[in-house]
Every structure is written in C-alpha cells, then in structure tokens.
A = this chain, B = another copy of it.
Amino acid sequence: MSKKDIKDAGLKVTLPRLQILEFLTDHKGKHYSAEALYDEMKAADHDIGLATIYRVLNQFETAGLVCKHQFEENQAVYELDTGEHHDHMVDVDSGKVIEFYDAELEKLQVKIVEEQGYELIDHKMVLYVKKK
C-alpha cells in the first residue's frame, strides 16, 4: 500500500521514505514537526538525517500524501493526508489539536468568495479555543 503511494508520486522507494510514511500512517490525525519526526525516527532506531526528513516531507506534500499546517507561526507540522478535508481547533492551554469538518462552513466559504467574483482555491482555518 505505502510502497505504491510512493511510486505513484514518481519517487523511488527508499528506506527513509518508507519509514516516515509508515510512521505517519500508524499515527493518523496526529501532527508532527520535522524535528519531532526526526526524534521519533531515532527512537525507532531509524537513522534518518534531519535534512532528509524535511526533503521527504516536502515531496510527500506535493505528492498529496501529507498535509502541512502552521498552527504556531514558527514551526510547521505535518500529518498524513487521508483525503478527507478537515479544519483544526487548537486548545490554547494544552496545545491539543482537534480536527473537525463542518459542511456548512465549507459551503459558506464558497459563497463568500463567489460574491466577490472569485473562485476558492484553498483555505486555511484554525480556531484557537479554550475549555469552558
């Protein structure tokens, strides 16, 4: 499964790529910075250089295998792209990320954009929240 995805992206199937993709597949819905992923790989006895992590994540992103997000302005995080679009809520106290999908919200965005004579290409939406 994963090997095929890498090949379909026009990339060679290498150990680093397999190990990174496998880890993200095993942790769907979780978000990792490049550095965090680097540490996880080390912990799993996979010796991958940080530069390779960055390179592979970028390649995976353009291939549509992973999504990149920027919850905090100074560090990007990545997650497996499951193909199902969703937005994020970030608990400002705990840092926990909650994924959600709201059809009404999606429709509303398209409507707003069209009212201005545009077409919606992409969007970025993060709600910063706090437990009541």
- Cβ-closest chain B residue relative to A105: B108
Report the separation of the CA atoms of residues A89 and B104 in the bound assembly, to the nearest whole angstrom. 19
Is the CB–CB distance between A130 and B119 below 8 Å? Answer: yes
Known: A98-B116, A113-B129, A116-B98. A124 touches B121 (CB 8 A): no
For chain A, give the interface size range: 20 to 34
Is A132 engaged at the interface, CB distance under 8 Å to the other chain? yes
In the complex, what's the smallest C-beta–C-beta distance from A100 to chain B, in angstroms?
A: 7
* Interface residue A70 (Cβ < 8 Å from any Cβ of B): yes
Residues of A within 8 A of B (CB): 70, 73, 76, 89, 91-92, 98, 100, 102, 104-105, 108-109, 112-113, 116-132
